[in-house]
Every structure is written in structure tokens, then in C-alpha cells.
Amino acid sequence: MINKRRMLVALLSGAILGVFCIVGVGTRIGFENYIFLIAMWYNRIVMGLMIGFASNLEIKKGFQNVLIRGTLLGLIVSSAIFLSTEFKDVPSLFAGIVYGIIIDFVATKYEK
């Protein structure tokens, strides 16, 4: 069963962090390629969606679970952008991993 509160918190966290991604990437490469910037934001929304669904993927309770799950899902989702840039946008890959951890932490904290 889907935890609706977790899903909402994860999606909102992904959307907010996606705005930070737009600012970060836009500062690095410019704001002219708005399609790529929208794709970055959408990527973080998808990350929030995946993490929202992942409430039943419990390795064990506690921060270690959030760290492993957030890292893994952040890496999986951010790899799409990394591949689309022909392995050039390394900062976005690492930001995605960190954002995965943040989204999972916030979603886990407020899921109940």
C-alpha cells in the first residue's frame, strides 16, 4: 500500500530541490537551454516519485536505511541526466545522489 503522505512529501521535496538544480545548472551552463533545465527539474520530480514509492524497501530502520536507499535511488535517477550529457555533467550526478538522500530523509521523517 502506498503511503500517501510519504509520496506527497517526497514529490514536494523533489520539486523544491529541482528548482535548486535549475539555478545550479543554469549558473554553470547558462539559462538559454531551458529544455535541459526543465529536464533537470523533471528528473528531480521523478526521483521524488521513486523515493515516495520506496517506503517498503526497508533494509533496516534508521539513518543507515535512508542513506543507502537515498543514495541508490538518487544514483539511478540521476544517471539518466548523466547519460544524456555524454558523461559530462558530473556535478549534477553527485547533486542527484545528495538530493536522493535528502528527499528520502525528509520523506521518512514526515511519512507518519
Rounded Cα–Cα distance for residues 61 and 38 (Å): 35
Domain boundaries, the chain: 4-109
- For the segment 20-78, what is each residue's pLDDT rounded down to a tens digit? 999 999 999 999 999 999 999 999 999 999 999 987 665 556 677 889 999 999 999 99
Q: What is the pTM of this model?
A: 0.92
Q: What is the DSSP string of the chain?
A: ---HHHHHHHHHHHHHHHHHHHHHHHHHH-SS-HHHHHHHHHHHHHHHHHHHHGGG--SSSSHHHHHHHHHHHHHHHHHHHHHHTTT--HHHHHHHHHHHHHHHHHHHHT--
